[in-house]
Chain A
Amino acid sequence: MTLELFSQYLLAGVTYGIIYAIVGIGFNIIYNTTGIINFAQGEFVMLGGMTAISLTQWLPLPLAIGAAVVVVMLIGALVEILFIRWLDRPSVLRMIIITIGISILIREAALHIWGDGVRSLPYFAGNEITTIQVLGARVSPQVLWVIGVCAVMVLALSLFFKYTLQGKKMQACAANRMAATLCGISTKNMVTLSFMLSAGIGALAGCVMSPITYTQYDIGTGLAIKGFTVAILGGLGSSMAAVTAGLLLGLIEAFSVSVVPLAFQDAIAITLLLAILFFRPHGLFGSKDAAGLKEF
């Protein structure tokens, strides 16, 4: 393998990997405050891209993306308030089925609103044939946008959880819901906030990836599976480990292109998921004892 080819695969892997990482972090944020895996996580990414594409008719690109993120955050809050907030200690099976139902409804709504065509946002800089040279590989500047925006998002999230009051409240909920309630934190509001937050980061990722990966009404399921793989691989609940796991999955996928036919590429992530579930369900970086205490 030449150096050029190697860095080409490397950049492709990092681009996809960081998107998977964002979806995986979205899973973790909601899981930490509620103990629920939100099967509709991938739909937020799709909604972000689709809404932004529609809004570019009336708004300049940056405003359209900003507005799309806000809209999807509101949808995330709405989903939580309508379907989850008022349930009293629901069983895991019930929550799985409800979030699957939500994902189907969002997908079908998108199908009827936007049709089944493939859409995309315009490139943020240049156009589809603009390339720049990085490490000997020729890539679209959009790749740098994706990596840059997602990296900033990861950084901002970790600062949010560490230094702001809201972030600390959410962490308190994740650590011990009962104790957080006793300290006067409204756990219900924290759950709504976690849905908004993970919808928001999903939507922003959906916008920046749209020019290169395209947006279609049914991309959510595939992204959700990969995001979940990443969340499990890193150890469920740990956001920063999800970034490492996301990059790992992205790189494995990118480099496997030279060995495995493209049609089977999705199967790689799923095989990895099954292998992790069977052999190390607490994740590569998670502790087995801590995982034993969690309910799922």
Chain B
Amino acid sequence: MKRHLPLALLVLTAIGVQQLTHATGTAFYLTPLTMAAYYSLVIVGLCLLMGYAGQISLGHAGFFAIGGYLSAMLTTRDLTPYQDNPVLVLLDKLGCTVTGQDMFGGAVLHVHPWAAFACAILITIAVAYGIGIPVLKLKGHYLAMATLGFGIIVYRLVLASPLFGEADGISEVPAFPLFPGLAVSGGFESRVSNYYLAWGMVACAMWLLANLIHSRVGRALRAIHGAEDATNAMGVNTARYKLNTFVISAVLAAVAGIFLTHYNGGIGPSEAGIMKSVRYVAIVAIGGMANLWGALVMGSLLNIMSLRGMFGSYDDAVFGLILIVIMLFAPRGLLGLSLPQGLKRLLKRGE
């Protein structure tokens, strides 16, 4: 029961915040709050990988971009010229396509967002396995550099491909109709429903991850973090656990990328940049590595502050400073500081 307390708290906070913005007439805060929720999905996934399995990834913005860009590309590019392609005919038969009109009234053909979603997730899983199998054999600096290299390759590819809009990115991404009557979109009138949708997804992810880390899998992961060789000797297939964790966190990043792209109505190459990956790592570090709730709290706070433009042109510098200060003085995270004990000591000195 105790385990579900934070989850209930999350739901209550989400409702409370919405009511507060409604009461004070500051509903414009809902937009950064919704975006922060999607970024939080990436962060809790990375937290599982870094904090519990002990594997650093400096390329998670790459997975976010794979999800976001594939979904954006499939739902905006006109497929009319390929109408007779057997794959497209099959998709059409399955009802996975939508027809529409372009600005001149001509007929255009897109992939349905759900089909694009499935495609993006499948490709993310394939890429994550393809990258994960060789990369996770590496340790320390090598792992960091290899994941960083993966992130840069994704960034270079989206920046150099006309298909992905090069430096402009992809805009005018349509809304994502999840169920009839409920769509992920940035429309003014659907602001409240999208806010709940996003935080609902975060709550689901937290529930799944919390269950995961309190299971056999979670114990195996923590054992890997503690001493990999010893865990191997105990008969745990460490390679498989690390790989599956990597894939889970990649999928979470891709899901976040897909929904945030449909919410914003577009995606640009900066979402794939190295600074984004570093920022995710910074937030996991400040949350305390092996602390899902810490990562969620710090991630939401910092992302909202950043999205509201509170750091001005020092945005990246702030995250760099956070990384250094946290790693130098509080490697167990801001929430991991034993503040009560420190206070006690101060009080005693006062006496």
A residues at B contact (CB < 8 Å): 37, 83, 87, 91-94, 96-98, 100-105, 107-109, 112, 221, 225, 228, 232, 261, 263-264, 266-267, 270-271, 273-274, 277-278, 281, 295-296
* B236 adjacent to chain A (CB < 8 Å): no
Query: Which residues does chain A contribute within 8 Å of B313, judged by CB atoms?
Result: 112
Name the A residues within 8 Å of B335 (CB-CB): none
Work out how many contacts link A and B, with CB atoms closer than 8 A: 112
Q: List 13 A-B contacts (CB under 8 A).
A: A37-B141, A37-B145, A96-B140, A97-B281, A101-B327, A108-B314, A112-B313, A112-B314, A271-B153, A273-B146, A274-B134, A277-B145, A278-B137
- Output the nearest chain A residue to B289 by Cβ-Cβ distance: A93
CB atoms of A101 and B320 under 8 A apart: yes
In the complex, the answer to whether A96 meets B320 with C-beta atoms within 8 Å is no
List, in ascending order, chain A residues with CB within 8 A of B138's CB.
277, 281
| Contact of A92 (CB < 8 Å), options: B141, B160, B285, B324 | B141
Chain B, interface residues (CB within 8 Å), range: 35 or more
* The 6 residue pairs across chains A and B that have the minimum distance between CB atoms: A104-B320, A101-B323, A263-B160, A101-B324, A108-B317, A92-B140
A228 to B144, CA, bound (A): 12
> B282 contacts which chain A residues (CB < 8 A)?
97, 101
Secondary structure class of chain A's binding surface, majority of residues: helix
- Beyond A83-B328, A104-B278, whether A98 also contacts B323 by CB under 8 A is yes
Closest to B131 in A: A274
| Contact across chains for A264 and B160 when beta carbons are under 8 A apart | yes
Does B157 reach chain A (CB closer than 8 Å)?
Answer: yes
With contacts A273-B149, A274-B149 taken as known, whether A105 is within 8 angstroms of B324 at the C-beta atoms is yes
Closest residue of A by beta carbon distance from B142: A277
Query: In this assembly, does B184 line the interface, its C-beta being within 8 Å of a C-beta of chain A?
Result: no
Which residues from chain A contact B322 at a C-beta distance below 8 Å? 101
- A96 / chain B contacts, CB cutoff of 8 Å: 56, 140-141, 144
- Cα A94 to Cα B329 in complex, Å, equals 11
Is B319 among interface residues, defined by CB-CB distance under 8 A? yes
> Once bound together, how far apart are the Cα atoms of A83 and B285, in whole Å?
17
Residues on B lying within 8 angstroms of A by beta carbon are 54, 56, 58, 134-135, 137-142, 144-146, 148-150, 152-153, 156-157, 159-160, 274-275, 278, 281-282, 285, 313-314, 316-317, 319-324, 327-328, 331
User: Could you tell me the distance between the alpha carbons of A33 and B54 in the complex, rounded to whole angstroms?
Assistant: 26
B324 near A263: Cβ-Cβ < 8 Å: no
Residue from B134, B152, B323 in contact with A97 in the complex, judged by beta carbons closer than 8 Å: B323
Please name all residues of chain B whose beta carbon is closer than 8 Å to the beta carbon of A270 when the two chains form the complex.
149, 152-153, 156
Q: Are A296 and B327 in touch, CB under 8 angstroms?
A: no
Interchain CA distance A271-B149 in the complex, whole Å:
8
Instruction: With A104-B316, A221-B274 given, name 10 new contacts (CB 8 A).
Output: A97-B285, A98-B323, A98-B328, A101-B321, A112-B313, A267-B157, A270-B149, A274-B146, A274-B149, A295-B140
Chain B residues whose CB sits within 8 angstroms of the CB of A92 once the complex forms: 139-141
**B328 / chain A contacts, CB cutoff of 8 Å:** 83, 87, 98
Distance of A97 Cα from B56 Cα, bound (Å): 10
- The residues of B that contact A104 with a CB separation of less than 8 Å are 275, 278, 316-317, 319-320, 323
